[in-house]
A and B are shown apart, each in its own frame.
Chain A
């Protein structure tokens, strides 16, 4: 058995990584504003403009990448632990689709043009509807009922989104919807941060609440119940925590895939496979990966902006395949 680094060291290392990447994210951008500009040593912009660019453009973008990455990593880990299914991610319970549908409705109806926060608010509303429907359909059922209900909700929300695209008044409206769905944290303001952060943090607290039950659940539901785990309560915590935090994340950034699926797999060996220890590690890992992806987006962007959701999927999918191959090789050896 190979020795792994201790949990506090791992968490400290991940925190340091997130801090370094976030600092990098504040100092990299198309305007060319870097560290020297902030202290008036640049020919391109004066220090005042530089501080405005960093404070009003890059700060909200970085904060959103960190918190949304944390949300996706954390909720992916919590769902995989609860469902005892390594393929679970926030999309599996339908919350990403319903939040997207809310946002699409805001774009389609034109509310978002009248009132900028209509889009995130409707998206969060969509996520909350998902929780209510899920609790109604699968509140007392098993894991399978929850997954099936999630798939049904997801398909229905996807169909409704397609319907909105189908009937969109003009090609530009359709394009706006499609681009939004691809996911991005570019051009967001601190308003977006203030709107989404409370929901995300509330969701994190609820998810961490369930942590210890997740460990007991790795012995199966019967053992968990015999150890005093309240399954209905744990399910309600996981579903609500995921929906509230991922709903808020989707509301301000659109659909960003693969972070919630891949990061828990990446972190699991580093926390000795414990579902409870995985939560924080996976959250920090998700934050690091999303900030790094957003830096990549900015570094290679020319003309049309490359969307963050596209990058995470392009990196995430092959990486996931590699994880699958490695797991198969481990099984065979």
Chain B
């Protein structure tokens, strides 16, 4: 299933937060949505999902208008991992992951064998077996992210949108989550993830979409989009670059303002 967002526009008051942004995610593709704070990445994601209203643009799933789909049918096609990792009420990790099956259930449904298999599979994918009986509220940041990611995986949607899936994680867990997303995409899921870590974006993403002031200013392979000019324009930084076994790496190194700062 292919997701195509065209000319998405979102205004807050008179301010254009997302300015005619377009992007697409194809099956089996791992796409990074990057850009500085306030560039409109999260807003674009929410506008695509219909969580927040948009002032223009269309979102299509395999060519069909996504907003016209019934909510549960839309939920079965596109899973979402929001930035907010709060879980109320001391729910156990097991109960949280099972919520991923909500779009597949009608009313007071018990899990079908297929649903149970999806839940088990999602838990295995994030290595979450030991966490199942613990309340999510007491888990560490890394554990909580893995369980909430498992919740999103349990939907078994052909497309996954993740808002900063590796924010506030240590390097080990950042790599772990990136590997999970990468493996998921290799199995055919289209993944779009908002990510701030340019090094991990360059290393793992098939493609990155760069946003600046609400508009998409670059879309393509990381090596091309993360050019010195683009980094200067969008992030106001310079980066060190190198090559490790045929893969380009990138390390943010200095910011424009640093030269004139009296720090």
Contacts and interface: CB of A to CB of B under 8 A. Distances in A.
A225 B50 CA distance: 8
Interface in A218-239: 218-220, 222-223, 225-230
A250 B73 CA distance: 40
B86 interface: yes
Contacts, number: 84
B95 A274 contact: yes
Contacts of B109: 212
A183 B45 CA distance: 51
A212 B102 contact: yes
Given A212-B102, A275-B89, A228 B71 contact: yes
B89 A223 contact: no
A275 B71 CA distance: 21
Nearest to A274: B95
Interface residues of B, number: 39
Interface centre among A220, A225, A274, by most chain B C-beta atoms within 10 angstroms, is A225
Interface in A128-170: none
Interface footprint category on A: 20 to 34
Contacts of A219: 87-88, 96, 99, 148, 151
A82 to B, nearest CB: 11
A226 B78 contact: yes
Contacts of A227: 75, 99-100, 102-103, 155
A228 B95 contact: no
A226 B103 CA distance: 9
Contacts of B141: none
A215 B46 contact: no
Of A216, A227, A274, most buried by chain B (CB within 10 Å of CB) is: A227
Interface in A199-229: 211-212, 215-216, 218-220, 222-223, 225-229
Nearest to A1: B133
A323 B103 CA distance: 35
A195 to B, nearest CB: 30
B99 A226 contact: no
A298 interface: no
A230 B71 contact: yes
A165 B88 CA distance: 42
A41 interface: no
A213 to B, nearest CB: 8
A217 to B, nearest CB: 8
A236 to B, nearest CB: 15
B74 interface: yes
13 contacts: A216-B99, A216-B102, A218-B87, A218-B88, A219-B151, A222-B82, A223-B82, A225-B50, A227-B75, A227-B155, A228-B75, A272-B95, A273-B90
Given A229-B71, A268-B89, 5 more contacts: A84-B88, A84-B89, A220-B88, A273-B90, A273-B91
